[in-house]
Chains A and B, each alone.
Chain A
Amino acid sequence: MTFHERMITLDRRWIFLTLAVFVIIPFFLEFDIPVTVSKEVRDIYDFIEGLEAGDYILVGIDYDPNAMAELHPMSYAIIKQCFAKKLKVITLTLSQYGAGMAEQVVRDVADSTRIYHGFEPVYGEDYVFLGYRPYYAFVILGMGRDFRIPFPQDYYGTDLDSLPMMRGIRNYDQVECVIDMNGGTVADAWVSYGNGRYNVKLAFGLTGVMAADFYPFYQSGQIFGLMGGMKGAAEYEQLVDKPGPAKEAMKMQVFAHIVIIVFIGMANIGFFLGRRSRTKAGEVL
């Protein structure tokens, strides 16, 4: 077997092993990857920074555990910023596996806000978690009329009208914007029904797989900001000046991408060398 044949017939398990090694190595190395903040991420940050204390914001945590690595850091960073700005945060999940994670994010950030900002967000007064309801399209449409239609009670079974911060709020008209962290098809529904039907100001935090598909909505102004994958999360962590897991993960991303580029290069070199040798063999024959 020639060298170029070996390159294109390399057992994929060697690729997996190499990738694993190069993802693990940076865990034990101390270095920093500079993160450049893109406009679509900064737009979200600037919008939230421009809000007044007491303004309402709705944060959707619409992802399953399989998107946790990418979207959890975004959720933490966004809610941290909201609490630091003393905004009233309404959280919900339209993903059937999202309720536990959403509750975890809100609880953790509330705890850390007490520690780092000396201000303790109070459940029901500063934030509320509505929980999960099925059929996201109808939930989004229902909230446009009244939050109480899809969510007569919050996640813990308390009537919404019993919660002080929900007494003054009826529908999207009282919400400054919706920031939706999304790992599935709910994002389409937010654009179509949230923005299309009710003109909700909308921004997304999306998994890397989805991000490229949603840039047209950003360019058309249907969404005002977009965080794509772990890079977007790292950018936001940098903006809120709280480097976290996403910023840390950029080290592994860089190493992994170099490995993948090298393997793609090797395979292409092998392919073109093989084609040249076959062409030459054809000429000889």
Chain B
Amino acid sequence: MATGNGNRKSPSNAVKIILVIVAVVFLISWISKATTGMADSTWLNIRDGFLITFAAFLTLSIFSFLYNDNPFYKFAEHLYVGVSAAYWMCLGFWSIIVGNFVPHASKTLSTFFKVPFQEYSWFYYVAFAFGVILLMRLLPKAGWIARWPLAVIIGTTAGFNLSRYLHSDFMSQVGNTFQPLFVDWQGAGHFFSNLSLAADGQLVMSAGNWIVVVGVLCGLVYFFFSKEHKGMFGAASRLGIWILMITFGASFGYTVMGRISLLVGRITFLFDDWLSIL
């Protein structure tokens, strides 16, 4: 068991050689990008060359995980986490503390941060105090007081989300399952004489509404567990699971397309922006 840096193994010669090769390749890339850059000044070309080369290095480092875990991947992963955390913290300070709190808290601070002072509001001081109290979690003896703002956050979020989902994801969606099963019905004669497979035709639109209504009902039956799934009820339940599977299949198909899009995006960057061979 390793007990400290003294027991850590030094990298093997093979690893050292790989590191040197990678460093040389990316140094050549940097020089090449810097000398062929289109920016107005040499300094900008050197900077842009470094950024593109470093971005390519990080992309390849992340891709290297597909082969196996390795130090390049670990470096890229840790860098990403660190930079993201720092970026978010800075953004939080400037957008929440400076952007929201300062303009309502102090004219002096507003002048200092160059944001227009709006008006004093006690509400912002309460929010600020809650924010400070939330940080009390860092103190073991006063940690309990952090539950108060946490309770406010949870209560507010629950209240907001309840009304939000009730309206948009429940009422509107349920209301929309009440569809006419025979769209624009004017009798069988009219239906057959105007039979068409057009997307906005009577047949296709009616069939679509049937699928929605039957799909919703059968999907609900599948999740109804107070009655044994046998007979007609069982058949509806089986149809419900088929509907669910088709839905999951559609989602999976879209997911595959999304993931391939990310791959295409990165490969385009490597071949176009970095290697300039497209």
Q: Does B91 sit at the interface, judged by CB under 8 A?
A: yes
Interface string of A28-69 (1 = CB under 8 A from B): 000000000001000000000000000000000000001011
Residue in B closest to A16 when the chains form the complex, CB atoms: B66
Q: Size band of the A side of the interface? A: 35 or more
Q: CB distance A23 to B114 under 8 Å?
A: no
Are B168 and A191 interface neighbours, CB within 8 A?
Answer: yes
A265 within 8 A of B: no
Given contacts A69-B266, A152-B116, A196-B167, contact A208 B261 (CB under 8 A): yes
Residue interface mask B91-115, A partner, CB < 8 A = 1: 1100110010001000000000011
For the residues of A in contact with B, the DSSP-based class is helix
Cross-chain contact A212 with B254 (CB below 8 angstroms): yes
CB of B255 to closest CB in A, whole Å: 5
> A176-192: which residues lie under 8 A (CB-CB) from chain B?
188-189, 191-192
Distance between Cα atoms of A206 and B251 in the complex (Å): 13
CB atoms of A96 and B247 under 8 A apart: no
Q: Is A249 an interface residue (CB 8 A)?
A: yes
Residue interface mask A165-185, B partner, CB < 8 A = 1: 000000000000000000000
Q: Does A245 contact B (CB under 8 A)?
A: yes
Scan A97-125; emit 1 where CB is below 8 A from any B CB, else 0.
Answer: 10000000000000000000000000000
In the complex formed, the residue of B with least CB distance to A215 is: B250
Bound together, the chains give a CA A16 to CA B263 distance in angstroms of 11
The smallest beta-carbon distance between A39 and chain B, in angstroms, is: 7
A96–B94 CA distance with the chains assembled, in angstroms:
12
Q: A192-B165, A230-B257 are in contact. Are A252 and B103 (CB under 8 A)?
A: no
For residue B88, which residues in chain A have a CB less than 8 angstroms away from its CB?
Answer: 96
Report the bound CA distance from A252 to B272 in whole Å. Answer: 15
Are B268's CB and A257's CB within 8 A? no
Most chain-A Cβ atoms within 10 A of its Cβ — which of B92, B251, B264? B264
A62 to chain B, nearest CB (A): 15
| A152 contact set on B, CB distance < 8 A | 103, 116, 118
Segment 81-97 of B: residues with Cβ below 8 Å from A: 87-88, 91-92, 95-96
A256 in contact with B263 given A70-B258, A152-B118, A230-B257 (CB within 8 Å): yes
Query: Chain A contacts of B103 at CB under 8 A?
Result: 152
Whether the Cβ atoms of A196 and B176 lie closer than 8 Å is no
What sequence of 0s and 1s flags, for each residue 198-223 of chain A, a beta carbon within 8 Å of any chain B beta carbon?
00000000011111110011011110
Given A134-B92, A253-B260, A209–B176 Cβ distance below 8 Å? Answer: no
- B172 contacts partner chain A, Cβ-Cβ < 8 Å: yes
Contact B164 A192 (CB under 8 A): yes
* Chain A, Cβ-Cβ closest to B251: A212
Task: Judge whether B168 and A195 touch: CB under 8 Å.
Answer: yes
Taking A96-B88, A97-B87, A209-B254 as contacts, is the C-beta distance between A66 and B260 under 8 angstroms? Answer: no
The interface residues of chain B, by DSSP majority, are classed as helix
| Residue A7 CB within 8 A of the other chain | no
Contacts of A209 in B (CB 8 A): 251, 254-255, 258
Report yes or no: A13 in contact with B66, Cβ–Cβ below 8 A.
Answer: yes
What separation, in Å, do the CA atoms of A160 and B32 have in the docked complex?
44
Interface members, chain B 233-270 (any A CB < 8 Å): 247, 250-251, 254-268
Q: Are A229 and B167 in contact (CB under 8 A)?
A: no
Q: A225 to chain B: closest CB distance in Å?
A: 16
Q: Is B271 an interface residue (CB 8 A)?
A: yes
Among A16, A19, A222, the residue within 8 A (CB) of B168 is: A222
Which residues of the other chain, B, contact A134 by a CB distance below 8 angstroms? 91-92, 95-96
A199 nearest CB across to chain B (Å): 12
A24 touches B164 (CB 8 A): no
**Chain B residues, CB < 8 A from A221:** 176
A260 within 8 A of partner (CB):
yes
Chain B residues, Cβ within 8 Å of A39: 199
Whether, in the assembled complex, B212 has its beta carbon less than 8 Å from a beta carbon of chain A, the answer is: yes
Distance, CA A221 to CA B43, complexed state (A) = 53
Q: Are B212 and A219 in contact (CB under 8 A)?
A: yes
Residues of B within 8 A of A23 (CB): 260, 263-264, 267
Instruction: Tell me the complex Cα distance, A68–B266, Å.
Output: 10
11 A-B interface contacts by CB (under 8 A): A69-B268, A134-B91, A192-B168, A192-B169, A193-B164, A207-B258, A208-B255, A208-B261, A216-B173, A222-B172, A260-B256
A positions within 8 Å CB-CB of B: 13, 16, 19-20, 23-24, 27, 39, 66, 68-70, 96-97, 132-134, 137, 152-153, 157, 159, 188-189, 191-193, 195-196, 207-213, 216-217, 219-222, 228-231, 245, 249, 252-253, 256-257, 260
Interface residues of B (CB under 8 A from A): 66-67, 87-88, 91-92, 95-96, 99, 103, 114-116, 118, 160, 164-165, 167-169, 172-173, 175-176, 199, 212, 247, 250-251, 254-268, 271, 278
The 7 closest A-B pairs by CB, nearest first: A69-B265, A208-B258, A220-B176, A192-B164, A230-B261, A212-B251, A192-B168
